[in-house]
Homo-oligomer: A and B are copies of this chain.
Amino acid sequence: MQLGTGGKSYREQKVVAVTRKDQVYSILRQAIISSQLAPGEAIRKELVALQLGVSRTPVSDAINRLADEGLVEIYPQTGTFVARLRLDKIETAQFVRIALETAAIRRAAERSSADTVHSLRNNLDRQRKAAEIRDFEGFYALDEELHDMICDAAGLVGLREIASKERSQIDRVRRLLLHYETRMVETLKEHEAIVAAIADNSVERAVATMEDHISKMGKMLLQLQTKRPELFAS
């Protein structure tokens, strides 16, 4: 079969273009990760379209993207549901996250500048303030920002987006866990250790600290399953 046109036109510059499907995607993703849309809950495209004042098309597009990301499950001709948590999938996501972020922090630690360290410390300051006033949402956002900053510090185009996408499953869990506990204080300490290692140019210590930090979540997860079994699938 003959595909393509043989035409050679193309574009040089990148356009940012925020389309409606992008907006719908962001809104739904946020709703899912914050558990405003609970695991297992049905999503009715038509209703969402109505509520957001758009047609079904951008909603479908957004949902397809979320399905690729594993945040929703589409059953053809039947329905679309917020994906429930699955321990095996989360285990894989955890594995991927450790692989990517330890590799990233290694590169970041090797090439970290005084400027980078300054930004990281600034983030930590804000984390401390958020922790003090028990601002879960704020702390969560800063947590994400810190991990993003480390990805960026690795100096690889698009790495942050990839890591962030693979983190989706885990972000959902992390958000749920943050509310439970003393976890915020512990997390802060771990973050401080990570940044300190980078500041010291201790590459291997940075890697080890990051791995330890990410692994901690695995244990918390099992507790969550006991407390909230309805969120889980298999």
Residues of B within 8 A of A2 (CB): 51
Contact of A3 among B48, B78, B86 (CB under 8 A): B48
Residues of B within 8 A of A43 (CB): 4-5
Residues of B within 8 A of A88 (CB): 156-157
Within A12-39, the residues touching B (CB, 8 Å) are 12, 15, 17, 19, 27-28, 31, 36-38
- Tallying the copies of this chain within the complex gives 2
Residues of B within 8 A of A48 (CB): 3
Contact of A100 among B5, B96, B157 (CB under 8 A): B96
Query: What residue of chain B has the Cβ atom nearest to residue A7's Cβ?
Result: B42
Question: Which residues of A come within 8 Å of B, CB atoms?
Answer: 1-12, 15, 17, 19, 27-28, 31, 36-38, 40-44, 47-48, 51-52, 61, 64-65, 68, 70, 73, 75-76, 78-79, 81-82, 84, 86, 88-89, 91-92, 95-96, 98-100, 102-104, 107, 154, 156-159, 162, 166, 233
